[in-house]
Structure 1
């Protein structure tokens, strides 16, 4: 179940943003790093195991590359969402080794991971919120 993982992710994100009334592009990188660390710790998962990390880690990498390239927040979020979408697509090609889907073995191939999918939807919602101002 992804609920405890999201709970951990949001708590880590809140801690990374504590005391801030506005977030910078750099803050976004730090928040994503905290989220990834929390999910890895709580879920004992890594990239490539058909989990939400298969969307979140590439999303972070794309966000960070865009930030390092001088993109503004909107540009970073666009890059993040595009990479997360690619990560979701990638989960269709691999066998689940963590979570409930791991019980399906090879039958999990061809289906996208729901945790990766919900992570993408969350990122798209954040991007939409920022775009609305």
Structure 2
């Protein structure tokens, strides 16, 4: 079992995230059309295309990688998604300065999510991307506590993120554009939670593909 990740693994993750967003672009936009500005899919797809274009030559370290990813998303993704996802990756980088085992990567992911919380001032239950990210991190931590490696932790996190995404459907939005709809925001999955579920599924797929 491979219990650490390399910078190349993390680059593969970002590429898979881009591919997943492209594949689900119309779905993300449809979700956003119900409770937002109908641009989440197109904005994320454009931003991640810009990110991948900057990965050749590949960054030499995880901090360098996530600085490139974060800054590119902030500058190329419209609306709230760019700053929020950009903050997520920018906060991850400084944490990954040593061996990248399951605990270290989990700590970096948590730093990223906490950055999103600080920037967006959202809490669990507000019907935002945090509602997918926080369950994923809890599942990751549980896997680490149980002695699981990075691939198993990522798989558990991906499953929890998908459940968190689905759990946003009945919620009434309390943050962002969707909050303007009040009770009418209930009955729709949050698009940011949906893209966050793709983020964790992409990480799981990238690590599982290592063999």
What is the TM-score of this pair, normalised by structure 2? 0.60
Distance 1:25 1:91 in 2: 27
Cα deviation, residue 104, structure 1 = 1.2
Q: Is 1:9 paired with 2:85?
A: no
Over the residues paired in the alignment, what is the CA RMSD in angstroms? 1.1
Shift of 1:118: 0.5
1:81 aligns with 2:81: no
Mapping for residues 14-93 of structure 1, pairs under 5 Å:
14-17=93-96, 19-20=97-98, 23-93=100-170
Q: Partners in 1 of 2:202 and 2:156 — Cα distance?
A: 14
Shift of 1:27: 0.8
Query: Are residue 94 (structure 1) and residue 171 (structure 2) matched?
Result: yes
Q: Shift of the alpha carbon at 1:40?
A: 1.0
Residue 198 of structure 2: which of 109, 113, 121 is its match?
121
The runs of at least 4 consecutive aligned structure 1 residues that moved more than 4 Å come to none
* Structure 2 portions without partners, runs of 5+: 1-79
SS at match of 1:93: coil
Which consecutive unaligned segments of at least 5 residues does structure 1 have? none
Offset at 1:46?
0.8
- Name the CA distance, whole Å, in 2 between partners of 1:122 and 1:5: 13
User: Normalising to structure 1: TM-score of the pair?
Assistant: 0.94
